[in-house]
Amino acid sequence: MKVTDHIHKSKKPLFSFEILPPLKGKSIQSIYDGIDPLMEFGPKFVNVTYHREEFVYKERENGLLEKIAIRKRPGTVGICAAIMNRYDVDAVPHLICGGFSKEETENALIDLQFLGIDNILALRGDSIKTESSFRPHKYGHKYAVDLVNQVSDMNRGNYLVEDIKLEPTDFCIGAAGYPEKHFEAMNLSTDLQYLKDKVDAGADYIVTQMFFNNAKYFEFIDACRAIGIEVPIIPGLKPIKTLNHISFLPKFFQIDYPEELSRELLKCKKNEDVTQLGIEWGIHQSKELKEAGVPCIHYYTMSNSSSVRAIAEEIF
Ligand code: FAD
């Protein structure tokens, strides 16, 4: 079932979460171990991230270095199928532009349709770690809006090369939004305009980047509505968990901690202190968002569901 149908059917905010495929070589049991503790809270959909290739240099016998592409976390589509089969819940694969030609994207979408997957989250993807900026595939898409357009075209029966209409797909399309602006955007208003382009191209709903200050989310909603973005906007929350997160999350995701939270974070001496504070802050944010009547609260587990479980126990 489509994410938007779940939202429209529900009278209260839904619970959903995102997981990462395990590192290559780890079994799918590690995924189930993360999902099992969250199932009693009735998630309607589970997102599975997509991780593109990284380049490593391997020394050959002749002493020369060889550049090799490896994917450390493969398996997004297989995990989606396994989740739907095991838990009878909808899985939402993340589909990225990076590394894919348009034809490969089309074929991936056909695979997803055959598996009975109704939803995708359409993203540009980040640059490869060793590249300073995002480089699109030679025959691929530069921006997420182009990917949204491709999926929308398939939903109308327009595939890439055929000049006759084919069987239309029926994907529900999600897109990413950034309450604190995407890090490459010139300013929030250009970023919002590009977000509107994604919605105009066919995105059915938006999931936000993590934020720790609900006021930023509410301002973002107002700004989106003011320029005519009408689709549901799902807030994404991440419980802070370790001392390392204190600097890593703002740096990596270009988000700010509100002053009250940063004051409390400064008092933390060990990981356990941060974990406890992250849970308390997550409960505080979730309560306020729930009271405001958001369509769903989406949690980033980053493959560790214990904090999300502690929050869900209080909220759902
Ligand atoms: P876009 O919407 O294409 O925007 C990228 C930048 O380009 C923005 O600064 C925007 O303002 C600008 N822009 C957009 N359109 C245009 C245009 N026409 N002309 C000029 N500028 C334009 N990454 C992964 O690799 N795998 C994942 O699984 C993944 N999951 C995510 C889930 C969520 C909920 C979120 C919020 C992010 C996720 N990301 C993931 C990260 C995401 O891929 C990056 O943030 C990426 O840098 C931007 O993706 P986007 O889809 O927002 O891109």
Distance CA 236, CA 255 (A): 12
Does the CB atom of residue 126 touch ligand 1 within 6 A?
yes
Residue 25: CB partners within 8 Å, gap ≥ 6? none
Phi-psi region of 125 (alpha: psi -120 to 50; beta: other; left: phi over 0): left
Does the CB atom of residue 202 touch ligand 1 within 6 A?
no
In this predicted model, what pLDDT tens digit does every residue of 49-70 receive, in sequence order?
999 998 888 899 899 999 898 9
Cα of 52 to ligand 1 centre, how many Å? 14
Quick check: 161 pLDDT over 90? no
Does the CB atom of residue 284 touch ligand 1 within 6 A?
no
Domain ranges of the chain: 3-315
Does the CB atom of residue 90 touch ligand 1 within 6 A?
no
In this predicted model, what pLDDT tens digit does every residue of 251-305 receive, in sequence order?
999 999 999 999 999 999 999 999 999 999 999 999 999 999 999 999 999 878 9
pTM of the shown model: 0.97
Distance CA 166, CA 171 (A): 15
The third-level CATH classification (topology) of the domain covering 3-315 is TIM Barrel (3.20.20)
pLDDT confidence tier of residue 215, bands split at 50, 70 and 90 = very high
Distance CA 189, CA 180 (A): 11
Q: Which atom, in ligand 1's list, is nearest to the CA of 127?
A: 47
Q: Could you tell me whether strands 172-177 and 233-237 are parallel, antiparallel, or unpaired per DSSP bridges?
A: unpaired
Cα of 271 to ligand 1 centre, how many Å? 30
